[in-house]
Amino acid sequence: MPELPDIIVYIEALEKRILGQKLLRVRIAAPFLLRTVSPPPSGIEGQQAVAIRRVGKRIAIRFENDVWLVFHLMIAGRLHWREGKPGVKIRGLADFEFTNGTLYLTEAGARRRASLHMQSGDAALATMDPGGLEVLEATLESFAERLQSANHTLKRALTDPRLFSGIGNAYSDEILFHAQLSPLALTKKLSPEEIERLFIASRNQLLEWTHRLREASGNKFPEKVTAFREGMAVHGRYKQPCPRCATKIQRIRYADNETNYCPTCQTGGKLLADRALSRLLRADWPRSLDEFEGLIARKQAD
């Protein structure tokens, strides 16, 4: 799922291309995509795009008639831009034909989760904001207060859009690695020093990856938006060596997501229980990575 750094780079690319441009035509090819119809998409045809805003993990485009077009890309939705004169046939779930090119949305896979909303006015747009704290605008004190407003695991707290804005599965893994904290540590049991490490790591990782993605895109529209980036320390690097200590990166799998972490750097050598493997191994669940690898080797030998 595109997260704060990805969304910022998307918005910067869109600002260069569509601000001040007139939207000539809207084509919605997939009915499931459009979640609100009042006002209808046709209401922004003939209108200029005048502002673009991030609302959590959503991208909101405002037109001169005060109507907002709001994208939520979810896991597999992506935006694309094709430069050129109007009338070029595009095969997206939705196409937005401007005077200088076409913005279109695609979604990989069979599951259809991406959404498109139409909202009239700032007050209506505000109802779509889950209320998460903007970490890059926060103080250490406001960050600590929000973090400990409920007793959750760090992974859950960082990815809860009601607590923190724009952080998802990928960047939370990177943040926790650089803060050297377990994803299962409880927020209300953190020391002031640990909270400060988490605050600094959160800001640094969001800023660093925004910079990296800007550099990678250059003047082109960002097409390679993915949760798995070259240069990430732990996310998507299961069984690969930790860049700090060379221990094999481990994971916890649940539903469609997984948490990646380094046992040495983050959990004091403890292997966190993976739900699927815990059911399989039951009482044999190992306490350390060495025990785990020994157990796997024995089972393979059998």
The neighbour count for residue 231, using CB atoms within 10 Å, is 10
Burial readout 137-164 (b: 16 or more C-beta within 10 A, e: otherwise): ebeeeebbebbbeeebebbbbbbebebb
pLDDT of amino acid 157 = 97
Q: Please tell me the distance from the alpha carbon of residue 173 to that of residue 259, in angstroms, as a whole number.
A: 6
Span 35-40, average pLDDT: 89
User: pLDDT at residue 213 above 50?
Assistant: yes
Structure tokens at 214: 């800007």
Residue 94: left (phi > 0), alpha (psi -120 to 50), or beta?
Answer: beta
Average pLDDT over residues 162-188: 97
Q: Above 70 in pLDDT, residue 296? A: no
Domain borders along the chain are 4-126, 135-266
- Name which of 93, 26, 32 is nearest 63 in CA terms: 26
pLDDT tens figures, 222-239: 988 887 899 999 999 999
- Average pLDDT rounded to a whole number, residues 139-150: 97
- What is the average per-residue pLDDT within 69-96? 86
> Has this prediction a pTM greater than 0.85?
yes
Section 113-141 average pLDDT: 96
* 75 burial level (CB within 10 Å; 0-12, 13-18, 19+): middle
For residue 32, the 8-state DSSP code is G
The CATH number, out of the four listed (3.20.190.10, 3.40.50.20, 3.30.530.20, 1.10.3080.10), of the domain defined by the range 4-126 = 3.20.190.10
pLDDT category, 151, cuts 50, 70, 90? very high
Is residue 132's pLDDT more than 60?
yes
CATH fold of the domain at 135-266: Helicase, Ruva Protein; domain 3 (1.10.8)
- Per-residue pLDDT tens digits for 249-277: 999 987 668 899 999 999 999 999 765 54
The Cα 237–Cα 40 span in angstroms is 44
d(CA 251, CA 289): 12
Average pLDDT (131-152) is: 97
Task: Give the mean pLDDT of the chain.
Answer: 89
Q: Residue 277: what pLDDT?
A: 45
Q: Does the structure show a pLDDT above 60 at 284?
A: no
Which tokens belong to 89? 């046939």
Name which residue leads in pLDDT, 302 or 125. Answer: 125
Cα Dmax for the chain: 70
